Copies of this chain bind each other. A is one copy, B any other.
């Protein structure tokens, strides 16, 4: 498709009118990229079929900048929701896709975003089945916000719930933490610093499926620590189950450059956002097998057993530091960096 022959170079309010210009934008740009029988029906909704129990998750993405090292708001909007569906113990199948565009968005940028959405959706095995496009006046939005809502089939062997977590269960993380947040920070005005740190934004659904195929209900919980980071998510789990989480800092995987950037900015990587990281809380009988399976997978090659569930300090996350001391990991209070996803 030649975006120079569209007859417009920026998105304007008319593209959100529901009239001829909206149809034009949909037909020439959006449907031509996504081209599938669901969207080609051009109805206000789509009809799909899902067997068994259905997992649903929704997320709006307001990240700035919209293009960053390792991805853009489009790929992120697919990965984020695909992963949330997967964390429910499900196989993601379908996505809805809704844009809120600020008047004046460059059509080339928009085209790159939707191509990234298509690529990320294809790689994740999900189909965009229905969508919506709204346009707001200049100064009433910020380039583009994207909502995706995902639907998946719950894996027949999955039995994911905080209620199944017991003392002694192991906490395993699939890879390096804090990459997404530090990649975004390195590009923010006022914070810009030289780095090669890339966002870890990726789809985790195939690794999750492999784990469920192999270990079924011995996996108690999946959770992806996005906003708020690993520390906040583990604290939420601890308070939900009224048990403690004990972590060993030495086992928490972090890439050197990311650790250095955190130190430079005075940030605790435990609170920095991730987009390709998840934890599995598993029965201790399978910890080494889970670790081995993760490490055999591209998206789990840096996996590590980082801690366990304990009854020694209920509702608290305690971290044994590299130098041997212990500290409590509180949840993130306030805002470390707005609009990280």
Query: Out of B16, B56, B98, B334, which one reaches A45, CB within 8 Å?
Result: B56
Known: A55-B47, A58-B96, A60-B100. A17 touches B336 (CB 8 A): yes
Give the shortest distance, in Å, between A52 (CB) and chain B (any CB).
8
Asked if A259 lies at the interface with its beta carbon under 8 angstroms from chain B, I say no
Chain A interface: which size bin? 35 or more
The answer to whether A332 and B19 have CB atoms under 8 Å apart is: yes
Contact pick for A136, options B41, B44, B339, CB 8 Å: B339
Could you tell me the distance in whole angstroms from the C-beta of A45 to the nearest C-beta in chain B? 3
Asked whether any CB of chain B lies closer than 8 Å to the CB of A22, the reply is yes
Task: Give the docked Cα–Cα distance between A98 and B336 (Å).
Answer: 22
In the bound complex, residues from chain B placing their C-beta under 8 Å from that of A339 are 16, 134, 136-137
Which residues from chain B contact A273 at a C-beta distance below 8 Å? 18
Residues of B within 8 A of A56 (CB): 45-48, 94, 96, 129-130, 151
* A residues 96-153 in Cβ contact with B at 8 Å: 96-100, 129-132, 134-137, 139-142, 145, 147, 149-151
User: B335 near A57 (CB under 8 angstroms)?
Assistant: no
A21 within 8 A of B: yes
Q: Is the pair A50, B50 in contact by a Cβ cutoff of 8 Å?
A: yes
In whole Å, how far is A161's beta carbon from the nearest beta carbon of chain B?
Answer: 8
The answer to whether the Cβ of A165 comes within 8 Å of any Cβ in the partner chain is: no
A258 sits at the interface (CB 8 A): no
Within 8 Å CB of A131, what residues of B?
A: 58
A187 part of interface (Cβ distance < 8 Å): no
The docked-state distance in angstroms from the alpha carbon of A54 to that of B43 is 14
Judged by a CB distance under 8 angstroms, whether A154 is at the interface is: yes
A319: Cβ under 8 A from any B Cβ: no
Known contacts A19-B232, A56-B46, A142 near B136 by CB under 8 Å: yes
Is the C-beta of A338 less than 8 angstroms from some C-beta in chain B? yes
Instruction: Indicate with 1 or 0, residue by residue over A65-91, a CB within 8 angstroms of chain B CB atoms.
Output: 000000000000000000011011010
List the interface of chain A (C-beta within 8 A of B).
12-14, 16-23, 41-50, 53-62, 84-85, 87-88, 90, 94, 96-100, 129-132, 134-137, 139-142, 145, 147, 149-151, 154, 161, 223-224, 226-229, 232, 236, 240, 271, 273, 330-336, 338-339
Among all A-B residue pairs, the 4 with the closest Cβ atoms: A18-B227, A19-B332, A18-B228, A45-B57
